[in-house]
Chain A
Amino acid sequence: MASDPTKIDPMHQFEVQTIAPMFDIGGVPISFTNSAFWMVVTLAVLWLFMLGGMKREVVPGRWQMMVEGFTGFIDKLLKENIGKAGRKYLPYVFSLFMFILFANLIGLLPLGLFAPVSKYVPELGVVTHPFTFTSHFTITGVLAIMSFSIVLIVGFAKHGLKFFSLFVPSGTPLIMKIIIAPIEFISFLFRPFSLGLRLFVAMIAGHILLKVLAGFVIQSSNASFLWGGVVGIPSFVLMVGVSALEVLVAGIQAYVFALLTSLYIHDAEHLH
């Protein structure tokens, strides 16, 4: 598939490409990839963004206000869902939310417009082809497992074996309890999967859709002027709309990840 240069492969954008092999850990090779590059970019952009909030002025400027808006948003989310104890999870949930949000948004940047530059400077190819690492379940899965681990650790540290009472709804007859408890337990175990898969699927779907529509635009306009007008232009208009939608999805998915994490932590803190 990828061997045919005229064919546009919408899955190619998700391929992790090695930029430079680094070292082996116990025989397992570690290398710097385009995925790693965009993680570092996300970190750098996020750090720059947060730097604007570090002026700590009494009367905040626009940038500081924006940073405070984000921290206040997560702070409020935690207060509403976990309560007073929520404050101590702020660093984790804020990191999670901002990391996912910035990764999603940076992955959507139309840096491909500068792709011709990478024809002359091949080293810039990694910059002109944004990689959405949140579209990989190896990434979202780890984030989900991290959230789930925090829930388990907090739950068992706080309530010990009583944490298992989370699966037994109070005030139900014994027979119902026997039926419901295993269901609750299984649904609890599904949490990390649904958490990780949701983000991964949302990201991959949007990016594939954008690439397929872009393929329509390119191939129809290559075919003829007429086809470009009939198929290409509507596809392009649709792409603009879908791009806007994807920006929304980027925010929503980051929010959902943070929200569900805080809801799960609520369970660990208060059991019900």
Chain B
Amino acid sequence: MPQISQLGESGFVSSQLFWLIIVFALVYFVIGRSMATKVVATVEQRDETVAGDLAAAESARAAADQSEEEWRAQENAAREQARAKLAEARARGAQASEARLAAANAELDAKGAEADARIAAARGAAMSEIDNVAAEAARDIVSRVAGADVDAAEARKAVESVRHGG
């Protein structure tokens, strides 16, 4: 095994140690201390950036959700308000038309009653006119048939008694 048999050779161990120390020192300082540290720092920085960006996106999403919620609430309130206004307007319209209908009805009723009264009056007048005409006719008939002159009032009384009493 040369690892052991060469131990006796002069310069074997010293050369091995010398070169190992030189090379490993270079590896440690150049690779380990300088390069690896920088690489790790780069990775860490990137991780931080990514985590920061993610957090920013998350908070933006939360803000968007919040504003959407607010908008929705506002929208709902506006819709509710509009619905209430609409119902109120509808109620008011119905009320107004009902009142107008009632007024028109009352007017019509009054007009009808007036007309009825007028008709009744006209009929009364016509009736009394018929009585007058009948009395006249009766006096005429009496004077022609009996030759008696009958008083107008008496004739009228007789007509009335026939017409009303029978």
Contact = CB atoms under 8 A, between A and B. Distances in A.
Contact of B3 (A56, A74, A94, A136): A136
Given A28-B11, A46-B31, A67 B39 contact: yes
B1 A91 contact: no
Interface residues of B, number: 36
Contact of B31 (A98, A137, A143, A200): A98
A30 B3 contact: no
B15 interface: yes
Interface string A17-39: 01001000100111111011001
Interface in B104-157: none
Secondary structure of the A contact surface, majority rule: helix
Contacts of B16: 16, 33, 35-36, 133, 136, 138-139
Interface stretch (A47-55, A222-230, A245-253): A47-55
Interface in B35-53: 35-40, 42-43, 46, 49
Most A CB contacts (10 A, CB to CB) among B36, B38, B40 go to B36
B56 interface: no
A113 interface: no
Interface stretch (B20-28, B58-66, B70-78, B90-98): B20-28
Interface string A148-181: 0000000000000000000000000000000000
A33 B23 CA distance: 13
B6 interface: yes
Given A30-B11, A31-B11, A54 B3 contact: no
Given A35-B19, A50-B31, A68-B43, A90 B36 contact: yes
A143 to B, nearest CB: 8
Contacts of B161: none
B44 to A, nearest CB: 9
Contacts of A36: 15-16, 18-19, 23
Q: Main SS of the interface on chain B?
A: helix
A271 interface: no
Interface in A60-98: 67-68, 71-72, 74-75, 90-92, 94-95, 98
Interface in A125-148: 133, 135-139, 142-143, 146
A217 interface: no
A137 B39 contact: no
B2 interface: yes
B21 to A, nearest CB: 8
Contacts of A29: 10-11, 14-15
A43 interface: yes
Contacts of A143: 20, 24
B68 to A, nearest CB: 32
B62 to A, nearest CB: 26
B38 A95 contact: no
Contacts of B42: 53, 56, 68
Given A39-B20, A98-B31, A139-B20, A16 B38 contact: no
7 contacts: A30-B11, A51-B35, A56-B39, A68-B43, A71-B40, A91-B32, A92-B28
Closest 3 CB pairs of A and B: A91-B32, A95-B32, A29-B11
Given A68-B39, A204-B1, 9 more contacts: A11-B1, A16-B12, A29-B15, A35-B16, A40-B19, A53-B35, A91-B33, A138-B7, A142-B21
